[in-house]
Amino acid sequence: MDNKDLSEALKKILEKEIKKFGSLIPKDIVTDIESKISPQIEKMIEQGGYVKKSKYENLERIISDLEDRLDKLEKN
């Protein structure tokens, strides 16, 4: 899941739930909550077997580099 997508989804959920208390809570609280909760949510998602798109792409690049190195070693 993309970082931006995860953050936006979290923000929308929090905004929806906090609107009830809108007059009591400052508007920037959603951003503060998002920055504090987002890392924990990402950890929970990863524990479920999912990774962020950027992490997946980095792992793909590393695997490709390692395969290239193995091919070169096998040729020598």
- Domain containing 7: what range? 3-75
Domain count, the chain: 1
67 neighbors 16 (Cβ within 8 angstroms): no
**Coil, helix or strand at residue 52:** coil
CA–CA separation, 5 and 20 (whole Å): 24
Q: What does the radius of gyration of the chain's CA atoms come to, in whole angstroms?
A: 20
Longest dimension (CA), the chain: 71
pLDDT tier at 27, thresholds 50, 70, 90: low
Q: What is the mean pLDDT of residues 52-72?
A: 92
Structure tokens at 15: 């905004």
Give pLDDT, residue 60: 95
What is the rounded average pLDDT for all residues in the chain? 81
- Structure pTM? 0.46
